[in-house]
Amino acid sequence: MAEHLSQSELDYPFKLLEYFNGFRISKAIFSACELGVFDLLLQSQKPMSAVEVAQKLGTSEDGVERLLDVLVAIEIVDVEVVQGTAFYSSTDVANQYLAKTSPKSLHDLIIYNSQTIYPLWNNLVDAVREGKNQNEKTFGLPSEEIFSAIYRSEEEMLKFMGLMNSTWVIDGHDIVTAFDLSNFKTVIDLGGCSGALARELAKEYPSSTVTVLDLPAVVQTAQRHFAQQDDTICFQEGDFFEGEIPPADLYILARIIHDWKEDKNLKLLKKIHAACPPGGGVLIAEALLFENRRGPTMVQMFSLNMLVQTEGKEHPPSHYTHLLTDAGFRDVQVCRTGKSYDAILALK
């Protein structure tokens, strides 16, 4: 590390101390979301004192004041001191991404990270030692049954689906526009969960028929909780690992490959290749590592999270190229979007 940090960092470890405190910053934001701080500040017609916030949220004045001051320090909340009293107000960033009511809200993603991912990461040492996920230690569920843990109750299923929905609300457009998909008239999003990515594709390519295929319980939950009045997408119950894959011009695998071991992924891709017509293809959305293993940091963190929660990991583009080629696909193209997730398109 020393050769990559400045001399000043060797004199005093400012950057290291910032890293050490990273979990505290995350948890402060998570807690503010869970308490409803950002929704309250957005709804308020004027800046609020800590006393007013505490009364509205049913918290201690001292505790909420300290939390608000942290949010000010990391520039998520604004403050103005008038005659010795601090008055807090929301920022544009908080209004857009942290309040529940925003169309681009990441609230569900934050709740999932706080209540599901955070407890799993408490067992990171064991995950590294054992080389397997920590669902059993964290939730008392077998490590082999990944989605039994993720979907262990209707509440947990909703949290996960909310996470996926938040993800594609902000990243979906970049995925569906990474390549020109207008020639694919029938599209099936395998494991499309809430339908958020499918909706982005349907909006961009209105002449295409877009279907989400997922497990029956997921489809039913999606239709109850995530359906939109102007929906043009369809839902179909099925299991793309165990059951048949319906015919389509294009299949989407978004954040699917990174959950599983290579042999299972190869079997799935061969199955998709067999169902795919000549000229058809598969679109993969995943977070791509650099080939030199030097980042991106967020993707390396995602890969560590896959160890803690699933059977899989994140990969560089060359891995997907080899995997798709081995499955029979050709003309593999990679597009780095510059956001959280990247796109890979391969044709039959």
Q: Looking at the annotation, which residues are catalytic? A: 258
Calpha distance 193→67 (Å, rounded) = 34
If one counts every other C-beta atom within 10 angstroms of the C-beta of residue 301, the result is 12
User: Is the peptide bond between 216 and the residue preceding it cis, with omega within 30 degrees of 0?
Assistant: no
Calpha distance 86→310 (Å, rounded) = 45
Calpha distance 254→197 (Å, rounded) = 8
| Helices and strands per DSSP (H, E), number in the chain | 18, 10
Whether the Cβ atoms of residue 231 and residue 210 lie closer than 8 Å to each other: no
Whose CA is closest to 107, among 162, 40, 41? 162
Helix/strand/coil for 236: strand
Calpha distance 233→254 (Å, rounded) = 16
Whose CA is closest to 217, among 197, 235, 199, 196? 235
